[in-house]
């Protein structure tokens, strides 16, 4: 039972609730194929001073369509640059109105 008069208990309960919500959302993204889990190599490390063995591994979350997203970001950047150049040409053209009048 949670003691709601103790701040530490409340903080732990809130953290537990947040963790549950985040894990549920993460599971949904993984099950829908939006996020892919990449597991790195697993290795064992022996500490000769303490004679303890620890297991080390790495995990990386990657958006499934990360390459596509990066391609769109590059295209977006190029289009923005093109728009800026076009706007500059138009501004320069209309700043010299006397040359354009007939």
- pLDDT bin (cut points 50, 70, 90) of residue 63 is confident
Rounded to two decimals, what is the model's pTM?
0.47
pLDDT digits (tens, 9 = 90+) for 34-60: 888 888 899 999 999 999 999 999 999
pLDDT digits (tens, 9 = 90+) for 77-88: 999 999 999 998
21-25-28 Cα angle (round to 5): 140
Look at the chain and count its residues: 102
């Amino acid at each position: 039972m949670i003691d709601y008069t103790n701040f530490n208990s409340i903080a732990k309960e809130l953290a537990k609730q947040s963790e549950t919500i985040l894990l549920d959302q993460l599971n949904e993204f993984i099950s829908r194929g939006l996020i892919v889990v990449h597991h790195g190599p697993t290795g064992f490390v022996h500490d000769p001073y303490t004679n303890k063995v620890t297991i080390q591994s790495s995990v990386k979350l990657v958006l499934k369509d990360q390459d596509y997203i990066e391609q769109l970001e590059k295209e977006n950047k190029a289009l923005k640059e093109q728009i800026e150049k076009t706007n500059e040409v138009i501004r320069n053209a209309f700043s010299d109105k006397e040359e354009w009048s007939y």
